[in-house]
């Protein structure tokens, strides 16, 4: 079981796997245990506002460090916008300066998507901070390979990690059911598909039942 204290990276096996809703659920769970939590969306691309979504669902203070208009990987989106790139050391310093007990740092896309100057990734940020990572994975076909590759990439840099299924279907099929047995890594639980559409008060009541974060706070 990873320790939820100080910075914690929330990354994914791919884009659209449910990182933001998972981040919000983790925040709710930790706050229910008495921890203070801040959510930091490292880089936002396209028209979504993941920090606002995390705040709406969880009530935790949430902010975004940089926004780019095109729905691309952050480095590509910054290039098209002729905007400055985030520096790894500055993001790490921002995370360490947060006064909250736990700082949830949500990435963009999958683990090895280039975020900022020099092509650094969320894996590089986790290694720089010496912090663990939560990997948000899909439920269906393909997730075993993608999750194993993501966990292996983190392990190569000495980053501890655990897995959350980001959108568990209401009517799981054969692949989803069997994947529960075979999904690699330590598992913290799963988030029901559509959880992000719940009213905040309903989300906060239910979120503590979806995850098992241990007694690390």
DSSP lists the bridge partners of residue 164 as 136, 189
Burial 61-70 (b: 16+ CB within 10 A, else e): bbebbbbbee
Burial 73-101 (b: 16+ CB within 10 A, else e): bbbebbeeeeeebbebeebbebbeebebb
Q: Record the tokens describing residue 33, joined without a space.
A: 């245990």
User: Which residue in 19, 33, 41, 87 is the catalytic one?
Assistant: 41
Handedness of CA 158, 159, 160, 165 (dihedral sign): negative
Known active-site residue 33? no
Residues labelled catalytic: 41
């Amino acid at each position: 079981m990873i320790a939820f204290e100080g910075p914690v990276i929330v990354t994914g096996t791919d884009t659209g796997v449910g990182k933001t809703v998972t981040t919000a659920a983790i925040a709710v769970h930790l706050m229910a245990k008495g921890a203070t939590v801040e959510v930091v969306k490292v880089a936002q691309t396209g028209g979504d506002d993941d920090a606002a979504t995390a705040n709406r669902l969880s009530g935790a203070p949430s902010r975004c460090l940089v926004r780019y208009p095109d729905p691309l990987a952050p480095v590509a989106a910054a290039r098209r916008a002729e905007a400055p790139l985030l520096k790894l050391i500055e993001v790490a310093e921002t995370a360490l300066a947060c006064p909250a007990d736990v700082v949830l740092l949500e990435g963009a896309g999958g683990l090895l998507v280039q975020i900022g100057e020099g092509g650094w990734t969320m894996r590089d940020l986790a290694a720089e901070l010496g912090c663990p990572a939560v990997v948000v994975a899909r439920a269906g076909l393909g997730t075993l390979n993608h999750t194993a590759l993501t966990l292996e990439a983190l392990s190569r840099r000495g980053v501890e990690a655990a897995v959350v299924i980001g959108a568990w279907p209401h009517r799981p099929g054969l692949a989803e059911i069997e994947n529960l047995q075979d999904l690699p890594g330590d598992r913290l639980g799963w988030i029901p598909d559509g959880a992000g559409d719940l009213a905040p008060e309903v989300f906060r009541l239910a979120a503590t039942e979806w995850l098992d974060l241990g007694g690390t706070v």
